[in-house]
Structure formats: structure tokens, C-alpha cells
Amino acid sequence: MKPKNQRLVLALLALVAIIGAGFLALAGLRDNAALFRTPAELAANPVEPGRDIRLGGMVAANSIREASDGVTIDFIVEEGEARVPVRFTGIAPDLFRESSGVVAEGAFDRRGTFIAHTILAKHDENYMPPQMADMETRDERLQRTLER
Amino acid sequence: MIAELGLAALWLAAALAGLQLLFAVRAVRGDPEGSGVRAIAVVQGLLAAIAFTMLILLFLATDLSVELVAANSHTAKPWLYKLAGAWGNHEGSMLLWVTVLALAGALVAIVERNLPERTLVATLGAQAAIALGFYAFLLIASNPFERLSLAPAEGQGLNPLLQDPGLAFHPPTLYFGYVGMSVAFSFAVGALITRDVGAAFARAMRPWVLMSWIFLTLGITAGSYWAYYELGWGGWWFWDPVENASLMPWLAATALLHSVAVLATRDALRAWTIMLAVVAFSMSMVGTFLVRSGILTSVHAFAVDPQRGAFILGLLVLYIGGALALFGWRIGSVREGARFDPVSREGALVANNLLLSAILGIVLVGTLYPLGVEAVTGEKLSVGPPYFNSTAGPLALILVAIMAAGPLLKWRRDEWRALIDRLALPVLILALALAAMLLLAGPTGILPLLGLTLAAGVAAAALAPLWGRNLRRTPMFTWGMAIAHFGIAVALAGMAFESAYTKETLVAARPGETHRVGPWAVTFQGVEPVAGPNWTAVEARLTANRGGAPIALAPQARTFPTPLTETSEAAIATRWNGQLYTVLGNRDASGRWQLRLWWKPFVTLIWFGGCLIALGGLLSLFGRARRAKRVRLREAYA
């Protein structure tokens, strides 16, 4: 390398590193970004099994079933007519209840059951996953319409 | 009265910052000597400190006629959390931010004697410009001293998740780190304005970069441990945007720390160091923006107020844009620094910088991508550990390998052959570790295997610069480098152990049952109700046994009445070779209790490594300060 060009070479190296990182990031995002889907969206546009998504909706009334091992639960996430069966093994958050909002992270298995590895429920009155905040406003809108 | 005093001090500090900027501009154009900018910076720092002290007094007295206190405190809180409540909210933490900034400016004005006066005055001017934006933000969009016309009978309390001694000091630690970056940035702007980019500038900037980096390291380490034991999920890093907000400035600061060393020692990498200072400050601004604007709804985001988000975004664009414009305009006229061979200490540090920048880019893209996509298409998605681990992980391993070789290279020019000789012993240790892993530990994933063997080799290489030296005469900053690099190897070993050998048991247990996890037999005795100062809880009684004396663990499920919240308190037993981590879950219909048990071998090495890294930084800081003092004394006597 000619010493005269050292500054140029360093600048080019930096550019290559940044562009390389950009490509790596985009490739990673294509494979790994988890989409947020509601049951109605899934009914219209199913997601292939094994792909990580976040499923958001309401826990259907009377749908939570405890398995005999005591740590697995099955429940239905619904939105209007659309329903998705979910299985979760682990400790559900304290505020995970029937007829309230939930976001589950995981993927569908081959039989169409959503296997969740994480469940997010409303944490306290100030905290909720951003997507759920939107669902909440949708509910409130619905409620207002009903009251009127 | 106290609130009004605080507000008055804040207005005065803002006015002085304006004055400081004005005087600095005039002094840089004319005569920098005796311009009074130093004195103004000191007074501005004092005023900001007074304003913040007033806020602390309000919180300690729980003055509910002040809106901020009423919204975030409660008379029944322990005093430590009343104190921490002063910065455990949006307005208070912004006031803390600007106070630290102003005090740092005052410190620069008092102690810095080696930099040319013109560059120093320009630096203080830049510092005032940054402070001015934040004063405006406080006074216009988030006044912490706002009074309520009608004081409520009781305050609303602090988010119980934040009620933890570690967390009381977590935000200030990170802010010291962020603000240190702003000082480095101001130095860079000052040097660009006077075109005086050289070794003297690097030596003036280095202690600030080091200090800020130490605080960021400690903040990240403490934050990681907090998330580990407080959230009860057993993980130590979640790639949560808020965690990334502290990691990104750290990555940039690490790169800057190394490039500033090249600039101070060899007067090379001038433009690159300036650029990194701009990037590092931008990342701390992005961090502040992500956490403070309410753009991420999480425990950390208290403000869900679009005006504030827009204001911080405006400041972000103004400062970063301004700095980049200044960089583009002036950098052409900064002379090129000294040259070096590709195989040299400088070359290795360039590789370090490029890899750190690439990792930074990857983390930045992953953190901002969901926000960008949602803003443009409305599609909601989340980017989690699979993305970050698969992209940043391999780059980090390469970086660690280069870290092993770098310190063994000579400045300016070296030979491959000599490097290979010096690396022989570390490579031998690496090979032995690999063999031991394959023979003794059984099959694991490829990444943990790579991580563990690399950690062994790097640990040996990190200490290599100390071999064959008289250890008592080795400069303290060489010790600092060796210990910090060794800390990286230790943390890496902890991460690899945790991901490869963690054992997990999830059961629903009846009282009297015993369940195994790793080498432990854990017996569930039953649950009992307990009460704390402002919470009640269900507490499980567990006895864990692995052949010695049994240990008692008591994980809790807590309920806080104000605001109504339920949290899970994990019980953790630390042994020399790992941690037993237990969580109490819910009761099922048949009266069994869910228990989650983890045995995490050597997981503590992660945070121990983090502390070693910070300790290494501290030793370098003292070593440099001592040498600078000695040089000054020698010059004074000569």
C-alpha cells in the first residue's frame, strides 16, 4: 500500500464495514423480525409453521384449560369471529386473565396450534406492550359506541 | 418556596448557558484570554446543582403541592426511594441529565490547563449550546417544579419494579456515562472549530472518554444484573430497545477509547477520532431519545407525550446534524496524522474500531427498524434475540480474537512472524481448553464451545503484555488494559457457560415434594403470606440440597397496592460455581404451586467480568492522571 493513500484506504475500509454491517443487518432482519398479527389477520393471511410471530388479541371467555402437569395451559385468542388455539408452558403473568388482552410470542406448529414461549399481559396500569395499547384504544372505542 | 427557588436557579442557569455560548463565540473570534467563559461555566454548574438539590429536598419532604412529587412519590415510601424518586421520572431525570452536564462543564473549566485556550473556550461554548437545548426542554416542555393548585392528600407512588436499591443508582450511572460523551463531543467540536486536532486534544479528551466509558460499563453491568434477578425470567440480556439504548453508546465509546489512544500516543487517526466522538455523543442522544420520548412503551418510558418526543427528536437532529455539518466543512482542512503499517498496534486498533462500528450499526438498525417500519407502513413487528445473536454474535467473537492479538503488536510497524511467536502460548492454552471441553464436558452448541475456548485463549493473551515485565514498575494503565481485556474473557466465559450448561426445571409442586435441577434437590415446604413496608406477598419455602448443608430459599409473588401491581421476586443462592435461581408461579386448580428452578453454572462470571472491565478502566484513568501530573511537575522544575 502506498503510504500516500492511507487516508483514502481507511475511509474505504470504514465504508465497506458500514455497508457490510448494513447487508448483514438486512439479511438478519429478513429472517428474524417477528411480525405482529391478530387472529383476524391470520385468518385472512396464514403464517407458515415455525416462523416466529407475535400474536395479539383477547383471551376468550372460559377458554383457559390447565393440563395435568400444572404448568401447561391451553387457551383461545380471539378477535371477533377469528379464533386461534394457543398452548403455553411456563409461568403465566399475574395479570393474564380471560376476557383481557394478551400478546403471545412463538410460532405455529404443523397442526395449527400456536406454541407460545412467552406471554405478555398488561403489567400494571402504566405498562403494556405497545401493540396492546392500540388494542386497548380499539376496545375503548367499541365501548363508547355501545354506551351511546 | 423550595420549588420556586429551584425554578429560579434553573432559569438563571439557562440564562448563563446562553451567556456562556455568546461569550465563547466572541472569544473564539477575538481574544480567548480573560473572556470569563471559564468563570461562567463554573457558576452555571453551581446553579444547576442548586436546582437539582431543591428537587431532591422536595422529594425527601414529599411536598405534594408539587405535581411531579404527587405523581411519583408517596409518604409511605422508604426514604431511599423518596430520594431515588427525584430522578425515577421523566422531568427529574432530565434535570439530572442537564445538572451532570453543567457540572462536567464546570469541571472542564476548572481543571483543563494543557489545551490551547482558544480550543478550550470553543469546547465550553459547545457545552453551553448542548446545555441550552436541555434547559429549554425542561423549562418549556417538562418543568419539574410545576405546582398544583390543589395539593392531593396522597401521592401516586413509584412503579414498584423500580423500587430496588440497585435501580435507584442505575439511571444516574448511565447519565454520567452519557454526559461524559457530551464532553468528549464538545472537545471534538472545539478542536474542529480551531482546527487544532492533535495529541494535546486527544490527551484532554481521553480522561472524559475513559470516565464515561467506566460509568457506561458499570451501568450496563448493573442493569443486566437487575433485569436478571428482578424480572424473574432467568435471562441476563434481552436485547430490549432500552438495553440497546445503553449498549450503543458503550460500543461507540469503546471504539472512541481505542482510537483516542492512537491519537494521543501516535498522533494518527485524527479525522476518525473526531467522527467517533460525534457518533458516540449521537448514540447517547439516541439513547436518551429512545428512553425519554415515550416512543417505546415499557417500564422505562414514563413520558407518553408527543410534544416531548418531538422536542428531544428536534434536539437530536439539531446537534447531530450540526456536528456532522461542521465535520464535513472543517475536516478537509485538518492535517492528516502520522502513518502506520497495516501490521501494527494501530492496524489492530483500526480493525477493532471497524468491527465495533459494524456491531454498532447492526444493533442500531435492529433497534430502529421496528420504529421505522411502523412509522412508514403501520406494520408492527419486533426484532429480538435471534436477529442480534446471529448477526452481532459472530462479529463479537472475531473482535475478541483481535483483542487477544492487538496488545502484543508494536506501534507503527511489526512482523507477522513475531506476532505468531508471541501468540504461541495463548494458542496452546486455547487448544488445551478445546480438548478439555470436548473430552470432559460432552457435546454442546458450536457457539458456546467457541466462546469458552476463545475465552481461555484470550484470558491468557490478555495477561501476556504483563509477562516478563517487572510487575511493580509496569505502568498502571498497562495493568488497566490487561485487566479490562481479561474481564472481557471472564464475561465471555460466563455467557458461554450460561448458554451451554443451564439446567431448568418447571413443575407444579405440592408441599413436601422434591424436584431435581442440575446437582440440586429442591424440596417445596409450602407457602406463607408475608408483608413488607408497602407490599404483601405469598412466599414459598424451599430447601435446596446438593450434599452439603441445605440452603433455604424464599421466592415471592408480591402485590403492591399503590399503584396496584404484582411482581415476582426470585430467590437466588450464589455458590462459587454458579447460581440456583428459583421463581414462584401461580397456584393451579388442584392446589399445586408452579415452581421454576434454574441451575446456572458460573453465570456470575458475566457481571464479575463487567466489574473487572470497569476496574481496568479505572486503573487506566488513575495511571494516566498520575503520569500527567508527573510530567507537569517535571516541567515545572526544569
For B164-173, B245-254, B624-633, which range has the lowest pLDDT when averaged over its residues?
B164-173
Q: What is the chain B residue with the closest CA to A18?
A: B358
Do A112 and A88 lie in one domain? The reply is yes
CATH assignment at residue A90: 2.40.50.140
Which residues face B540 on adjacent strands? Answer: B527
**C-beta atoms of B585 and A91 within 8 A:** yes
Q: How far apart are CA B289 and CA B315, in angstroms?
A: 9
Q: B502 vs B12, B446, B464, B476, B547, CA distance in Å? A: 56, 16, 31, 37, 20
Q: Quick one: which H or E segment has residue B283? A: helix B270-292
Do A109 and A56 lie in one domain? The reply is yes
Contacts of B231 in chain A (CB under 8 A): none
Do A23 and A45 lie in one domain? The reply is no
Domain count for chain A, please give it: 2
The confidence score (pLDDT) of residue B303 equals: 42
Q: What is the mean pLDDT of residues B454-472?
A: 86
Nearest to B361 among A25, A35, A94 (CB): A25
Do A11 and A71 lie in one domain? The reply is no
Q: Decide if B294 contacts B308 (C-beta within 8 A).
A: yes
Do A25 and A87 lie in one domain? The reply is no
Q: Which of residues 538-567 of B touch A (CB under 8 A)?
A: 557, 563-566
Which residues face A58 on adjacent strands? Answer: A78, A101
Do A28 and A39 lie in one domain? The reply is no
Contacts of A33 in chain B (CB under 8 A): 369-370, 381-383, 387
Do A133 and A64 lie in one domain? The reply is yes
Do A50 and A9 lie in one domain? The reply is no
Do A74 and A51 lie in one domain? The reply is yes
Q: What is the mean pLDDT of residues A23-49?
A: 87
Contacts of B335 in chain A (CB under 8 A): none
C-alpha cell of residue B419:
506476532
The confidence score (pLDDT) of residue A129 equals: 46
**C-beta atoms of B357 and A29 within 8 A:** no
Q: What is the chain B residue with the closest CA to A4?
A: B339
Do A42 and A103 lie in one domain? The reply is yes
C-alpha cell of residue B394:
459472530
Which residues face B528 on adjacent strands? Answer: B539
What b-and-e string marks burial along B186-218, b requiring 16 or more CB atoms within 10 Å of the CB? bbbbbbbbbebbbbbbbbbbbbbbbbbbbbbbb
Q: B326 vs B131, B584, B609, B629, CA distance in Å? A: 19, 56, 39, 33
Q: How far apart are CA B484 and CA B489, in angstroms?
A: 9
Nearest to A34 among B384, B391, B583 (CB): B384
Return the SS3 of B521: strand
Report residue B340: phi and psi, to 5°.
-155, 165
Do A56 and A4 lie in one domain? The reply is no
**Residue B157 pLDDT exceeds 80:** no
Q: Judge whether B355 is closer than 8 Å to chain A, CB to CB.
A: yes
Whether the complex's predicted ipTM surpasses the cut of 0.95: no
Q: How far apart are CA B53 and CA B249, in angstroms?
A: 28
Q: In terms of residue numbers, what domain contains A78?
A: 34-147
A96-119 pLDDT, tens digit per residue, is 888 888 888 899 999 999 999 988
Nearest to A29 among B383, B563, B568 (CB): B383
Q: What is the mean pLDDT of residues B454-466?
A: 89
Among B400, B422, B392, which Cα is nearest to B410's?
B422
Residue B185 neighbours by CB under 8 Å, 6+ apart:
B126, B130, B277, B278, B280, B281, B323
Q: Decide if B610 contacts B221 (C-beta within 8 A).
A: yes
For A7-16, B294-303, B344-353, B369-378, which range has the lowest pLDDT when averaged over its residues?
B294-303
pLDDT bin (cut points 50, 70, 90) of residue B159 is: low
Q: Judge whether B294 is closer than 8 Å to chain A, CB to CB.
A: no
Output DSSP code: residue B568. Answer: E
Nearest to A92 among B365, B563, B586 (CB): B586
Q: What is the chain B residue with the closest CA to A31?
A: B387
**C-beta atoms of B566 and A24 within 8 A:** no
Q: Decide if B510 contacts B603 (C-beta within 8 A).
A: no
**C-beta atoms of B588 and A70 within 8 A:** yes
CA B450 to chain centre: 27
C-alpha cell of residue B377:
407502513
Contacts of A17 in chain B (CB under 8 A): 354-355, 357-358
pLDDT bin (cut points 50, 70, 90) of residue B227 is: confident
Please report the DSSP string for B350-386 in residue order.
HHHHHHHHHHHHHHHHHHHHHHHHHHHH---EE--HH
Nearest to B383 among A17, A27, A33 (CB): A33
Mean pLDDT of chain B: 87
Could you tell me the pTM of the whole model? Answer: 0.90
**Residue B566 pLDDT exceeds 60:** yes
Q: How far apart are CA B66 and CA B109, in angstroms?
A: 34
Do A113 and A84 lie in one domain? The reply is yes
Q: Show the DSSP H helices in B112-169 as ranges.
A: 117-136, 165-168
**C-beta atoms of A24 and B359 within 8 A:** no
